[in-house]
Amino acid sequence: MKLPLFSQANSRHQLRVPRWPGHFFRSSAFTLIEIMVAIGVLGGLMVAIFASWQAIVRSSQIGITAAVEAHRTRVAVRSLTDAMSSTVLYELNMPYYAFLADTTESFAAFSLVARLPSSFPGSGLFFDQPLRRVTFSVEPTNSTHQLIMRQNPILSPLEEGQEAYPMVLAKNVGAFTMEFLDLRSGEWMPEWIYTNQIPPMVRFSLGFISKETGKVDDKRMIKRIIQIPASTVRATWQRPTPNTPGGNISNRAPIRTAPTRR
């Protein structure tokens, strides 16, 4: 049995009616919750990366600071050792060569004349003048104490108003003491009052303040005993007199000369 024509037309029309696209597939997109989760994860990663980078920078800075302090400490101890072991003293020129030491204050200080090697800190500023007066003292600077070394050539003393070239050897100094060996008693003396003599041995201690405790760190306390291989050059040795052994010209053997031809 055939359908009427209008029924067939209506059925064809119904088949050709377009449908909305949403009825066939679903559009792809991120929801607000997914975006917020992704931003949170990215923020966490950035915070972790920044924290790791900050820790690396901090540890690197601590390592550099420790290396600089260790090197500065070695230079300070080496400067003290070289200056004491190269000490010279001439009794005839005592105003220029006196060995001065002051241990009455909280920190020790001393000054001496030494024939310093070319590797001594600051030697490049004085060229061919190895004989210099060197002074070591602890001075306050910006609420901390620093071990400062000053030196000037003995042949060109400082004029009034001038200051010797200063050099900071150590920072955060908490202790600097000195003791001198007395050969007569065999004991260590806390003071050295003989400005016209050189002590045979010097014992010093150099301590630094810890940043964590604010006190002297016993682990960083440096103690050295330095033997001074020199003695005072007496005035009679510098300027022989007839009373000096070998100083009388008349007692010396005559100098033989070749006969002159006439």
Rounded-to-10 torsion of CA 167, 171, 173, 178: -30
Q: Which is nearest to 151 in space by CA: 117, 125, 118?
A: 125
pLDDT in the model for residue 101: 94
Residue 137: the pLDDT is 95
In a domain, 97, yes or no: yes
Domain span at 229? 65-157+164-238
What pLDDT shows up at residue 174? 92
Q: Examine residue 195 and state whether it is found in any structural domain, yes or no.
A: yes
How high is the pLDDT of residue 249?
41
Q: How many CB atoms lie within 10 A of CB 59?
A: 10
Cα distance between residue 36 and residue 42, in whole Å: 10
Q: Identify the pLDDT of residue 6.
A: 47
**What pLDDT was estimated at residue 10?**
52
**Does residue 24 lie in a domain region?**
no
**Overall domain count for the chain:** 1
52 located within any domain: no
pTM over 0.95: no
Q: What's the pLDDT at 131?
A: 92
Residue 40 lies in a domain: no
Residue 151 lies in a domain: yes
CA 241 to chain centroid: 49
pLDDT of 232: 85
Check residue 111 and give its pLDDT: 94
**Residue 192 counted as domain residue:** yes
Give the CA count within 13 Å in the CB-facing half-sphere of 126. 25
Q: What is the pLDDT along the chain (262 residues), one digit of tens a residue?
A: 554 554 554 554 454 545 555 554 455 677 888 888 888 888 888 988 888 888 888 888 878 877 888 888 899 999 999 999 999 999 888 888 999 999 999 999 999 999 999 889 988 888 888 999 999 999 998 888 999 999 988 877 666 656 777 899 998 899 999 999 998 888 999 999 888 889 999 999 999 988 888 888 888 889 999 999 888 888 888 776 666 554 444 444 443 444 444 4
Beta strands in 77-221 (DSSP E): 100-102, 109-115, 131-141, 144-153, 165-170, 173-182, 187-189, 201-208
Residue 42 in domain: no
